[in-house]
Amino acid sequence: MPRGPASKPLLVAAASVAVVVGLGGSGLLSPWWSQFVDDLGQFGAGLAATLACWLGAPRHTGAQRRWRLWMGAAACGWTIGQFIWSFYQLFRDNALPSPSLADAGYLTLPVFALPAVVSLAAARPPADAPRRRPGQLVMVLDGLIVVGALFVLTWATTLGSVARAGAATPFAYSVAIAYPVTDLVLTVIVILLLAASAPAGRGQLTILGAGLLCLAFSDSVFAYLVSKGADSMPPLADAGFVAGMALVAVAALTPARPDTAPPAARHARWAHLMLPYVPVAGTGVLLIVQLVRGINMDGVEIAVETAVISLLIIRQAVTLIENAMLLDRVSDSQARLTYQAFHDALTGLSNRVLFHDRLEHALALHHRDGRPLAVLFCDLDDFKAVNDRFGHHTGDRLLRHAAGRLRAAVRDSDTVARVGGDEFAVLLEGGGDPGETAERIMDAIGRPFEFDGESVSVGVSVGLVQAGEHGTVPSADALLRRADAAMYAGKRQGKGTLVRYRVDLPDGRGSSDLAEALAATLRDGNGLDVHYQPIVRLADATVVAVEALARWTHPSLGPVPTDVFIATAEEIGLIRLVDDFVLDRACRDAAAFRGPWAGIAVHVNASAARLGRPEHEDTVREAVLRHGLVPHRLVLELTETAPLPDLAEAAAAVHRLGRFGVRFALDDFGTGYNALAQLHAMPVDEVKLDRTFTVGGGRSEAICRSIVQICTGMGVAVVAEGVETDEQASAMAALGCRFGQGHRFGASGPLAAIAPADALDVVDAATVRPDAPFPAL
């Protein structure tokens, strides 16, 4: 059962047709009443179609209104014809009033139905555009095949007999032949329009087309009967007229479907493909029936059927050629897509994906038979300035030319890829000196580029990493990251440099092998250690305190410079773990000092960014209490690697911990962001003058003197950092600085190496009195 907006009217129409045909053809009524019911049914259906079209038209706009107006005119003309016909038949007792005035009415139907169908088809969206549609030539061939096949069918059934039967007058002959001819034309047009319209728009057109086909069917039967000299038309043969007009009414009542209907179903596409074959198959069946019945084909049938079959063969050939061309195009575009997926559109070089793939392959070979491989990471220097000064067009040209020079500087077997805006990666396989290749690349890129008479210069920074160096061979990603880290380190040293990867290179981009290993160390604590460096009174070189310094030994790479891993820990947000480890160890160790070191202070570095966080204060208190250290003996050194987010909050934290007893020092004083403001705001006990002032030169002497003066005025002790020589020590002492730290007094080392033997005996924590006098600094 049909579902959708047309289902109800369709049911009503089907019921009406059944009543009319059933009652008219049942034989229950007298012939006249049968005829009356039949004629009334046809007239009623025609009137219903006319009213449905014309009353519905004003409720629509555009093509939806137009086709209803045209179809209303067609149905109206037909209904008038039917009225006249019925009049002749019922009241003039003329069984088949043909030709008559009624024909004038009937024949208006094809005249107005044609523009109606065309308007309706035009109102539909074109057959789903993205789907491949048959080419123009195939469409024309299909049309001709359908026309030819239907012609053969019509000719064999009605047209032939009408044409052969002839008529009394040329006018009568024209009228007689007009029906099958116009029916043929309408049928062909409906079929072709249905095939060409989008499935989404076929609802109304299908119903209307079906109605017109029903009308054409009964028309043909009628024309055939007339040509055979029949004297009446059985009511059943009129069913096509009643059903046809009823369907026209249903089509007019059916609302237009939105254009967003689901895409064509597979069977609808198959129906479209089968279009030319169905009518041809129909002619085949017909010809077989004729043969069986001993009817020979006449000349017209033979000629048209031959033409139809020839057209079918041509259509087949054209379709094959089109398919072959299509396959070619598909494989071309597949190749193009594959190329685009693995290459950079601007330079034509490999892209990151292809580079990664090649690198993984090269690494596999390296693992298998030790084939050497190196990666160069090249980043153009000052490329942004080129874009800013000469525009992006010139920037793009430069990238293309630089890519060409890069390619020319390496072997054909090497892979050059563009992996970022102005970043290129080169994979060197099969030996040779990668350093030399890098130099060649730097020379090539360093030569000025000439664009439209302008000379544009850029440099290139190159990072180099070789598989097999630094222990285990990392993954492709890690290797590329190492080359990137080396390049980045080069950029920071100054541009236009070649830097070979070293394990201690932070990549400055938030991740490195080092970061991963450090994170692992901090999770399990293995590999971290604490060294101590003495802080002395300059006057007599007595040790008054020791500074605890974090040390990290990488499981396979060995000791990593403190600056490097501290910066890495800060980058990855794990500095807290380093600080807490050192704090705990320092408190434990200091609490155990005795003899000459009994009661000396221990300095512990603390990241200033953490100051003010409640968890930090708790950690400090707990560490001190846990090990029974007198709080005064702990000096927290504040190092400012980033501006303090809230100086007031940091100062409050210093106050709170200060009340607990812990003391504070400003580390590397003079290099931070806001040294004097911090000195002013925070109640610190010490200032550690950065070693840049200690080594002297420039105006450092004046600065040192002023700082010492300010600090002394405030009651803040000053420690000179990085004192390496006697001269520096006495110069600092002469400026009023009382304390010093540096290689002159001892480098940092494990506690056992730097402490006097009698300072490290295990002491009972209870012997350390909480109020033990603290050596003044």
Q: Which residues bind ligand C2E (CB under 6 A)?
A: 533, 549-550, 562-563, 566, 575, 578-579, 582, 605, 607, 637, 639, 667-668, 691, 721-722, 724, 741-743, 748
Q: How many CB atoms lie within 10 A of CB 237?
A: 20
Binding mask 310-339 for Mg ion (x = CB under 5 A): ------------------------------
Pick between residue 422 and residue 667 the one whose CB is nearest to ligand C2E: 667
Peptide bond before 99: cis, by omega within 30 degrees of 0?
Answer: yes
Q: Name the residue with tokens 């302008």.
A: 454
Pick between residue 38 and residue 668 the one whose CB is nearest to Mg ion: 668
Q: Please, is 171 exposed, middle or buried when counting C-beta atoms within 10 Å of its C-beta (0-12, 13-18, 19+)?
A: exposed
DSSP annotation string for 286-310 = HHHHHHHTTPPP-HHHHHHHHHHHH
- 285 alpha carbon, distance to own chain's centre: 55
**In the complex, minimum distance from the CB of residue 688 to Mg ion, in angstroms, rounded to a whole number:** 5
Pick between residue 397 and residue 585 the one whose CB is nearest to ligand C2E: 585
**In the complex, minimum distance from the CB of residue 605 to Mg ion, in angstroms, rounded to a whole number:** 5
**In the complex, minimum distance from the CB of residue 655 to ligand C2E, in angstroms, rounded to a whole number:** 21
**Contacts of 215 by beta carbon, 8 Å cutoff, 6+ apart:** 78, 109, 183, 240, 241, 244, 245
Supply 38's token pair: 């039949």
Which runs of E-coded beta strand occur in 436-524? 449-451, 454-456, 459-466, 498-500
CA distance 250 to 272: 25
Pick between residue 38 and residue 637 the one whose CB is nearest to Mg ion: 637
- Residue 607 touches which of ligand C2E, Mg ion, none (CB < 5 to 8 A by kind)? ligand C2E
**In the complex, minimum distance from the CB of residue 369 to ligand C2E, in angstroms, rounded to a whole number:** 42
Helix (H) or strand (E) holding 118: helix 101-123
**In the complex, minimum distance from the CB of residue 663 to ligand C2E, in angstroms, rounded to a whole number:** 15
Q: Name the residue with tokens 């009698």.
A: 758
Q: Please, is 754 exposed, middle or buried when counting C-beta atoms within 10 Å of its C-beta (0-12, 13-18, 19+)?
A: middle
**In the complex, minimum distance from the CB of residue 711 to ligand C2E, in angstroms, rounded to a whole number:** 17
- Residue 434 touches which of ligand C2E, Mg ion, none (CB < 5 to 8 A by kind)? none
- Residue 724 touches which of ligand C2E, Mg ion, none (CB < 5 to 8 A by kind)? ligand C2E
In angstroms and rounded to an integer, the radius of gyration of the C-alpha atoms of the chain is 50
**In the complex, minimum distance from the CB of residue 690 to Mg ion, in angstroms, rounded to a whole number:** 7
- Residue 748 touches which of Mg ion, ligand C2E, none (CB < 5 to 8 A by kind)? ligand C2E
Nearest to 411 by CA among 442, 379, 440: 440
Examine residue 667 and tell whether it contacts Mg ion (CB under 5 A): yes
CB 569 within 8 A of CB 580: no
Pick between residue 251 and residue 578 the one whose CB is nearest to ligand C2E: 578
Supply 427's token pair: 């994979």
- Residue 578 touches which of ligand C2E, Mg ion, none (CB < 5 to 8 A by kind)? ligand C2E
- Residue 743 touches which of Mg ion, ligand C2E, none (CB < 5 to 8 A by kind)? ligand C2E
Nearest to 544 by CA among 629, 602, 631, 606: 602
Pick between residue 203 and residue 722 the one whose CB is nearest to ligand C2E: 722
- Residue 533 touches which of ligand C2E, Mg ion, none (CB < 5 to 8 A by kind)? ligand C2E
User: How distant, in Å, are the alpha carbons of 32, 203, 249 from that of 69?
Assistant: 35, 18, 12
**In the complex, minimum distance from the CB of residue 760 to ligand C2E, in angstroms, rounded to a whole number:** 21
CA distance 555 to 229: 111
Pick between residue 414 and residue 579 the one whose CB is nearest to ligand C2E: 579
# binding residues, Mg ion (CB under 5 A): 5
**In the complex, minimum distance from the CB of residue 396 to Mg ion, in angstroms, rounded to a whole number:** 48
Nearest to 470 by CA among 416, 513, 530, 532: 513
CB 152 within 8 A of CB 308: yes
Q: How many CB atoms lie within 10 A of CB 351?
A: 17
**In the complex, minimum distance from the CB of residue 362 to Mg ion, in angstroms, rounded to a whole number:** 45
Q: Name the residue with tokens 């086909």.
A: 213
Phi, psi of 669 (to 5 degrees): -55, 135
- Residue 545 touches which of Mg ion, ligand C2E, none (CB < 5 to 8 A by kind)? none
- 736 alpha carbon, distance to own chain's centre: 67
Question: What single-letter amino acid sits at 762?
Answer: V
Pick between residue 183 and residue 571 the one whose CB is nearest to ligand C2E: 571
Pick between residue 469 and residue 584 the one whose CB is nearest to Mg ion: 584
Query: Residue 15: how many CA atoms within 13 Å on its side-chain side?
Result: 6
Alpha helices (runs of H) in 525-646, residue ranges in sequence order: 562-571, 575-591, 614-626
**In the complex, minimum distance from the CB of residue 719 to Mg ion, in angstroms, rounded to a whole number:** 9
Choices 10-18, 191-199, 215-223, 663-671 (CB under 5 A): range interacting with Mg ion? 663-671
CB 477 within 8 A of CB 502: no
Choices 154-162, 405-413, 624-632, 662-670 (CB under 5 A): range interacting with Mg ion? 662-670
CA distance 23 to 21: 6
Pick between residue 161 and residue 639 the one whose CB is nearest to ligand C2E: 639
Pick between residue 230 and residue 574 the one whose CB is nearest to ligand C2E: 574
Examine residue 668 and tell whether it contacts Mg ion (CB under 5 A): yes
**In the complex, minimum distance from the CB of residue 603 to Mg ion, in angstroms, rounded to a whole number:** 6
CA distance 91 to 87: 5
Binding mask 601-640 for Mg ion (x = CB under 5 A): ----x-------------------------------x---
- Residue 722 touches which of Mg ion, ligand C2E, none (CB < 5 to 8 A by kind)? ligand C2E
Q: Would strands 542-554 and 601-607 be described as parallel, antiparallel, or unpaired?
A: parallel
**In the complex, minimum distance from the CB of residue 714 to ligand C2E, in angstroms, rounded to a whole number:** 21
Examine residue 344 and tell whether it contacts Mg ion (CB under 5 A): no
Pick between residue 344 and residue 721 the one whose CB is nearest to ligand C2E: 721
Residues of this chain, 714-743, that bind Mg ion according to CB under 5 A: 721
**In the complex, minimum distance from the CB of residue 704 to ligand C2E, in angstroms, rounded to a whole number:** 16
Helices (H) and strands (E) in the chain, counts: 27, 16
CA distance 236 to 228: 18
Binding mask 445-484 for Mg ion (x = CB under 5 A): ----------------------------------------
Question: What single-letter amino acid sits at 229?
Answer: G
- Residue 562 touches which of Mg ion, ligand C2E, none (CB < 5 to 8 A by kind)? ligand C2E
Pick between residue 319 and residue 553 the one whose CB is nearest to ligand C2E: 553
- Contact residues: Mg ion, CB under 5 A: 605, 637, 667-668, 721
